[in-house]
């Protein structure tokens, strides 16, 4: 398994980092960590897909991101600032991660300061992703954002596979309402680009959907 997060490390540094990770398995729907938990570990996703959720004051849930193999969650735990987790991460299906605890990461940094590149890569990756989403929120119509988020998420499964994501989930990912997500998806379905199933979406024509979403 290759993780872009570790790409800047030498082979020896990568081996040492992974030697300090422990393998964890999660069943479908199982929580990896809750919002409000103490930030204890970074998780590298080895298999399966994880969803990142935020909860409002009234308990309403919004999906913020979906992370697949090669991705990561919980990067802020490595900063050691002691703040509580800001989001809940749950497995969308059976999943496996390699987790490194903050204490083990700190010991690695003392022995090999270049390990800091892992933390820098994580923060830079999330900053780029957040900046891109912000630019979309400002300049891209909501219905187009829905299609773009669908393309991003479906890439984790592949064309022709059912993506276990609801219209409400896509609305959260796109920063819009369920009504807008429904409108965008029904139009895409009418054009033969997707098929809407109960609690999931099937991608039928990624190329045409990309053109429809003006993805270059």
d(CA 107, CA 17): 11
d(CA 36, CA 88): 8
CA 15-21-26 angle, 5° bins: 135
Q: Note whether 152 and 128 are same-domain residues.
A: no
Place of tokens 């398994």: 1
pLDDT confidence tier of residue 168, bands split at 50, 70 and 90: very high
89 pLDDT above the threshold of 90: yes
Range of the domain at 9: 4-136
Average pLDDT over residues 178-200: 95
In tens, the pLDDT along 26-74 reads 999 999 999 999 889 999 999 999 999 998 777 788 999 999 999 999 9
215 pLDDT above the threshold of 90: no
The tokens of 180 are what?
């807008």
Q: Into how many domains does the chain fold?
A: 2
Domain boundary among 104, 136, 168: 136
The tokens of 2 are what?
């290759």
Q: Note whether 99 and 151 are same-domain residues.
A: no
In tens, the pLDDT along 76-87 reads 888 866 678 989
Question: What is the structure's pLDDT at 50?
Answer: 98
In tens, the pLDDT along 96-118 reads 999 999 999 999 989 888 888 99
**Global confidence as pTM:** 0.91
pLDDT confidence tier of residue 137, bands split at 50, 70 and 90: very high
Q: Note whether 96 and 189 are same-domain residues.
A: no
Question: What is the structure's pLDDT at 76?
Answer: 87
Torsion of CA 193, 196, 202, 208, to 10 degrees: 10
Domain boundary among 136, 156, 183: 136
Question: What is the structure's pLDDT at 201?
Answer: 94
139 pLDDT above the threshold of 90: yes
Question: What is the structure's pLDDT at 80?
Answer: 65
216 pLDDT above the threshold of 60: no
Torsion of CA 31, 33, 97, 106, to 10 degrees: -170
Lowest average pLDDT, out of 5-19, 70-84, 143-157, goes to 70-84
Q: Note whether 151 and 205 are same-domain residues.
A: yes
Question: What is the structure's pLDDT at 81?
Answer: 66
Question: What is the structure's pLDDT at 56?
Answer: 79
Phi and psi based region of residue 122 (left: phi greater than 0; alpha: psi -120 to 50; beta: remaining): alpha
């Amino acid at each position: 398994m290759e993780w872009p997060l570790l790409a800047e490390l030498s082979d020896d540094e990568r081996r040492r980092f992974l030697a300090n990770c422990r393998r964890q398995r999660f069943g479908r729907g199982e929580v990896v960590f809750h919002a409000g938990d103490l930030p204890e570990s970074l998780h590298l996703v080895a298999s399966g897909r994880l969803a990142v959720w935020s909860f409002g004051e009234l308990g309403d849930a919004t999906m913020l991101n979906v992370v697949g193999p090669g991705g990561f969650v919980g990067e802020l735990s490595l900063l050691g600032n002691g703040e509580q987790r800001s989001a809940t991460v749950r497995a969308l299906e059976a999943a496996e991660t390699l987790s490194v605890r903050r204490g083990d990461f700190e010991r690695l940094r003392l022995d090999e300061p270049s390990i800091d590149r892992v933390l820098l890569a994580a923060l830079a990756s999330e900053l780029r992703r957040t900046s891109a989403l912000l630019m979309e929120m400002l300049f891209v119509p909501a219905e187009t954002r829905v299609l773009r988020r669908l393309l991003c998420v479906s890439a984790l499964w592949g064309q022709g596979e059912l993506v276990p994501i609801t219209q409400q989930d896509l609305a959260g990912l796109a920063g819009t309402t369920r009504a807008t997500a429904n409108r965008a998806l029904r139009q895409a379905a009418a054009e033969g680009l997707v098929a809407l199933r109960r609690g999931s979406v099937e991608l039928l024509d990624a190329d045409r959907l990309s053109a429809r979403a003006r993805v270059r």
